[in-house]
Amino acid sequence: MEVTTECFEKIIIFQEFESMINEEERKKKSLIDEIQKETQDFNSETQKLKDMEEEHKKCLIEKKNLENELYQCEESIKKHQIELNSVKKNEQFKALLTEIENLKNKKDLIENKILEIMDITERKSNEMNQKRKNLSIKEKEKDSSIKTKKDEIEKIEKYINDLKSRQDLIKSEIKDETIKKRLENLLKTKNGLAVVKANIKKNETLKSNPEEYFCSGCNSKLTSMDISSIRKMNTFAICQNCSRFIYYRC
């Protein structure tokens, strides 16, 4: 099947504008995706800092609890040491000594735990400070990068609007409404590619005619009738496989 129209060149230009618009839209989407990823990555690092701060806070609470426990232990030791002076029975005296010894052992354990917690707290504090510095640097880098990308997106959007205006002008000059509707439907169903150039490949095994013609949209081989059609003035062949408009350029 073939379509001959005086709007031949305009239809090709219309598709060229569509392809340019789609390419710019892809660039825009890629930049938007990059911005989202940069934001997500930074938020993830920020969350890590919050987690570190929460762990640090837990360590401080644990240290405070241990200090309270240590205070209670020391007070109990003092109390029992005073009681030693007032007991008269040997069994009570020995019991108090044992209790004091146990409390001293407990006190040593608590003090060791406090020292461990202090080491952990200090390490976490240093890690947090370093993390904050790194985040501060990364935030500036992120903000600068995102600003650059947003500026680029703004330029792309202006360019897309310009391309669409020029495409609309070309579209208004395509007077055949049937062709126009077919093009619009193909753009929707064929990933924005309604009009394609014939793809010519050399096949040296074919001595009589070493050139083979293909639809560059779906790569289907054109028939001899299709080839004859696209060689005519202002004529498209309609791909028998994907229904795209195919044209020929030397």
Do 162 and 13 meet the contact criterion of CB atoms below 8 Å apart? no
Q: pLDDT by residue for the chain (250 residues), tens digit each?
A: 899 999 999 999 999 999 999 999 999 999 999 999 999 999 999 999 999 999 999 999 999 999 999 999 999 999 999 998 888 888 888 999 999 999 999 999 999 999 999 999 999 999 999 999 999 999 999 999 999 999 999 999 999 999 999 999 999 999 999 999 999 999 999 999 999 999 998 876 666 667 889 999 999 999 999 999 999 999 999 999 999 999 998 7
Distance CA 62, CA 60 (A): 5
**Residue 240 tokens, joined:** 């028998």
Distance CA 189, CA 244 (A): 10
Task: Determine which helix (DSSP H) or strand (DSSP E) holds 117, and give its type and residue range.
Answer: helix 90-172
End-to-end CA distance of the chain: 21
Domains defined for the chain, CATH in brackets = 23-158 (1.10.287.1490), 176-247 (no CATH)
pLDDT score recorded for residue 208: 64
Distance CA 3, CA 180 (A): 12
**Full-model pTM:** 0.78
Residue labelled with tokens 């703004």: 154
Residues paired with residue 215 on neighbouring β-strands, in sequence order: 198
